[in-house]
Amino acid sequence: MDFVALLKYMQENYGEQITNHPMAGNEVAKNFKQGAKTAVPIALLGEDYKVSASIGKGVWANVPWIAVHDKAISTSVKQGVNIVYLFTNDYNGVYLSLNQGYTFINDNYKDTKTTLKKIAYFWQDNLSTLKTDDNFTTEPINLGINAKRYNTRVKGYETCNIYSKFYDISQLTEDDNNLLMQDLLHMITVFKELKMHLIPDKEKSVKATIDFILTDGDYVELNEKAKSDKINNLEKERKLVLVKEEAKQKGTLIKEGSVEYETKRDYVKEAIRNTEKGLQGEILVLNFERERLLKNPVTKPYVEKITHVAQNGDGHGYDIISYDVDPISSDKVIEIYIEVKTTIGSRNTPFYISENELNVAKLKGERYKIYRVYNYNGMPKLKIIDDLFTDKFIVEPINYIVRGVNQNDKHTKI
């Protein structure tokens, strides 16, 4: 049973079952829980994730759900932050929601509703990967269509919401399965950014972060706290190597034609896995830039002005502001805008560039640089791209995926 078929199965059967039939041994309940595990394939998500589903314990749940858990954060909707499909209580709609654990907050903090809202507002204000198009929104969700089934638990799920997208189940068709999976991958990207900013504290990571937020902690400060000593020490010891290109090959034309979504695309899964390397890659690039500027007496005074703008999550379209010698006047310095793309793969591994990043790249022109950090798990290497809009690259709107680094580049050196 694919995802659309599972949603329609629940729409057609669940309301009648909870009204007229017991839960024990119920076939609909059984089919739902089994179907959820195949409708959201682990092959797509990766082994770091777990899928669970519930129709209640002992009594029917007014709002059944399907959850995608990051095992390192939580394997229960009662705690942490999870990605959850929440049915409306008339079973005609479902929300894809980035959702907080209600039970944990309720058990550990005095004013549950206020606490949940403050945490949600914090992430809504600061996560740069949130988008408010394609029907994604930070507005409140409404699960209580049926007043008789609108209890405290249902209201709690609503308050736990951080970010969501609603689907009218009756309007979905089999062709929408790919769309649902694409939306899920986007939600995972948002979750990955949130996870990157959790304060490392073993099993208390989420609570430590919540406590920080509730004391009006600043997002930039949180970002610093989230950098573990292990990461910081590792990046101080590692240095990027700016390498020569391989043999020159024939380039390809830039394309911006429509690309159909396919769940089997390996580069989608790789992009998700690489998200966690983003911060580490940025730290490597910051160190690289400091050393580069120090080597030139013209740029040396600007070392302390290098800015890691990605820390505040404002979605500038680049990660770092650095400096370089003006190509027109060798005694002057200009700002450059660096977007860091990190992968454990080779430099030819395709990478994502958002529409905002692409627009900023067009606006900034040659001052916009993509620092491609690759072979991250080995000896990290660097390729600088400042000619994205040439025949060396294919740019496809997926969010845009960039592939093909095949020609010599003027910046490459030992």
Angstrom distances, CA of residue 273 to CA of 37, 68, 76, 112, 150:
21, 16, 22, 33, 38
pTM over 0.85, yes/no? no
Residues 6+ apart with CB under 8 A from 324: 299, 333, 334, 336
Domain ranges of the chain: 3-214, 229-403
Residue type, 228: S
Q: What is the pLDDT of residue 203?
A: 60
Model confidence at 245: pLDDT above 80: no
SS3 string of 117-130?
Answer: HHHHHHHHHHCCCC
- Say if residues 98 and 164 touch (Cβ distance below 8 Å): yes
* Alpha-carbon span 333 to 84, nearest angstrom: 49
Angstrom distances, CA of residue 312 to CA of 36, 115, 219:
36, 22, 6
Q: How are beta strands 241-242 and 381-385 bridged, if at all?
A: parallel
384: left (phi over 0), alpha (psi -120 to 50) or beta: beta
pLDDT, one tens digit per residue, over 348-399 is: 788 888 888 888 999 999 999 999 998 887 788 999 998 888 767 777 665 5
Confidence of residue 258 (pLDDT cuts 50, 70, 90): very low
* Alpha-carbon span 112 to 89, nearest angstrom: 22
Q: What is the pLDDT of residue 244?
A: 59
pLDDT, one tens digit per residue, over 303-347 is: 989 998 876 655 788 999 999 999 999 999 999 999 999 888 887
What SS3 class is residue 161?
strand
Q: How are beta strands 49-54 and 65-70 bridged, if at all?
A: antiparallel
Q: What is the pLDDT of residue 65?
A: 96
pLDDT, one tens digit per residue, over 109-133 is: 999 999 999 999 999 998 888 888 8
Task: Enter the tokens of residue 160.
Answer: 């736990």
- Say if residues 314 and 303 touch (Cβ distance below 8 Å): no
Report the CATH number of the 3-214 domain: 3.30.920.90
Confidence of residue 246 (pLDDT cuts 50, 70, 90): very low
Kindly report the number of other CB atoms within 10 A of residue 302's CB atom.
17
Q: What is the pLDDT of residue 349?
A: 83
Q: What is the pLDDT of residue 92?
A: 97
Q: What is the pLDDT of residue 277?
A: 64
Give the residue from 308, 301, 316 showing the smallest Cα distance to 283: 308
Question: What value, to the nearest 5°, has the Cα angle with vertex 82 and ends 81 and 88?
Answer: 120
